[in-house]
Amino acid sequence: MKILQLGKFYPIRGGVEKVMYDLTLGLSEQQIYCDMLCASTEDFPAQTIRLNNWGNLIVVPTKIKAAATMLAPDMINRLRKIAKNYDIIHVHHPDPMAALALFFSGYKGKVVLHWHSDIVKQKRLLQLYRPLQNWLIKRADKIVGTSPVYVAESPFLTQVTDKIDYIPIGVNQIIALPKEVEKIRKSYPFKKIILSQGRLVEYKGYEYLIKAMSQLTADYHLIIGGKGPLKEELTHLIKALEIEHKVSLIGYVSDEDLPNYFEACDVFCLSSIVKTEAFAIVQIEAMSCGKPLISTRIPGSGVSWVNQDGESGLTIPIADDRAIAQAINRLFNEEGLYDRLASGSKRRFDAHFTRQKMVDKCLQLYQTI
């Protein structure tokens, strides 16, 4: 069996490409032939990278950015040349370029459509892309989501429920460096550390998380890792609330250092407000460290399916700073709750969200088609 993961970018910066890469690596390490075809970003040079004897990473150049997406015409040419080599093409959505490449490839084999999220915010892009998206849905032999909730509630998939399944995202256990963890803890002495991580963009709901900090005592400290267009606005909000001593915007956190922050924190908080946040890999990374979660109940999203209320953490309404503050207070002040949710978080990770479980379920799905 020969598989091609198709779509998105390299280097890996987002959740979709991380899933693609982890599937490629995990399958090829099990001696299942699996390649990944994607477009470059951040001026990464076009090339083919040999991952092992069973898998390659094929990167084509990105030429144009238009309609809120990256266009890599070379993906069409490359896929036309190699498509016949594969038994299954596993295309990752949303990625108009990948869908376009598949459309023009002439490929006649099996197609798995991985529905990571609906196109929610980019209305103009969706209007342009809709006919191709409809073709892709019809063309797919199987459609998989990252949670049963998201694919069940997507308005685009209501007519194809007979071919829908789901594969929860999985990651390897986070491994931190004890000395680096201790260094972070010492930077916030005697504090209960609340961590959030992601791009500083509107749908992450950081304004509500920051406002919640103004309702908590000085025993708590919020660390937000990530960069983005709202940095200045959020900085002004922190100053206006006079909580500079309780909130730190630490900017981009490297892949090497992020595990240390997960291990150093006491709780991970996800304050997102729109179903653009379909799953939130950061949740399961925190769960792998046995950290309890506080996350929002986003209508139509799988976020609160990942974090089960009362099992791995607490879930709260969206866009509600008071609810965030109350959940944090409850977590640390209700007798036995923190320890119960911390152990439940790790158990849920081990049961559902390891990389091996993701790879195994994906392979089972391939074998059915």
Q: Which domains does the chain have, with CATH numbers?
A: 2-170+354-368 (3.40.50.2000), 178-352 (3.40.50.2000)
**Which H helix or E strand runs over 366?**
helix 355-368
Looking at residue 66, its pLDDT comes to: 59
What is the per-residue pLDDT for 155?
A: 94
Neighbours of 185 (CB within 10 A): 17
Stretch (H or E) spanning 344: helix 337-352
The pLDDT tens digits for 126-178 are 788 899 999 999 999 999 999 999 999 999 999 999 999 999 999 999 999 99
pLDDT value at residue 71: 81
Query: Residues near 102 by Cβ (< 8 Å), separated by ≥ 6?
Result: 6, 79, 89, 91, 111, 136, 139
**Mean pLDDT computed over every residue of the chain:** 95
Which residues, in sequence order, are CB contacts of 87 under 8 Å at separation 6+?
1, 2, 3, 109, 110
Annotate 88-101 with b (16+ C-beta within 10 A) or e (fewer).
bbbbbbbbbbbbbb
Each residue's pLDDT tens digit, 296-315: 999 999 999 999 999 999 99
pLDDT in the model for residue 360: 97
Q: What are the pLDDT digits (tens) for 190-215?
A: 999 999 999 999 999 999 999 999 99
Asked whether 41 and 72 are in contact (CB, 8 A), the reply is no
Tell me what pLDDT residue 266 has.
98
Q: Which amino acid is at 328?
A: I
| Torsion angles phi and psi, residue 264, rounded to 5 | -75, -25
Q: Do 319 and 203 contact (CB within 8 A), yes or no? A: no
Peptide bond into 11 cis (omega under 30): yes
Taking each helix axis from N to C terminus, what angle separates 206-213 and 321-333, rounded to the nearest 10 degrees? 60
What pLDDT, on the 0 to 100 scale, is given for residue 13? 84
pLDDT in tens, 239-294: 999 999 999 999 999 999 999 999 999 999 999 999 999 999 999 999 999 999 99
pLDDT tens, residue by residue, 102-123: 999 999 999 999 999 998 777 7
pLDDT category of residue 69 using cuts at 50, 70 and 90: low
> Is residue 105 packed enough to be buried (19+ CB in 10 Å), middle (13-18) or exposed (0-12)?
buried
Can you tell me the distance from the alpha carbon of 267 to that of 263, in angstroms, rounded to the nearest whole number? 10
pLDDT at res. 269: 98
| C-alpha–C-alpha distance, residues 171 and 22, integer Å | 8
Instruction: Look at residue 34 and give its three-state secondary structure.
Output: strand
C-alpha dist (Å) from residue 82 to 95, 112, 347, 366: 19, 17, 42, 19
Cα separation, 338 vs 333, whole angstroms: 8
- Round to whole Å and give the CA distance between 290 and 2: 36
From first CA to last CA, the distance across the chain in angstroms is: 11
Place of tokens 């949670």: 147
Tokens 């240390």 sit at which residue?
A: 260
**Residue 13 neighbours by CB distance under 10 Å:** 14
CA nearest to 180, candidates 256, 247, 246: 256
* The residue to which tokens 């190699």 are assigned: 82
Evaluate whether 142 touches 162 at the Cβ level (below 8 Å): no
Can you tell me whether residue 239 is helix, strand or coil? Answer: helix
Q: Determine which helix (DSSP H) or strand (DSSP E) holds 9, and give its type and residue range.
A: strand 2-10
User: Does residue 22 have a pLDDT over 60?
Assistant: yes
Residue with tokens 């198709």: 6
Residue 252, both tokens: 């981009």
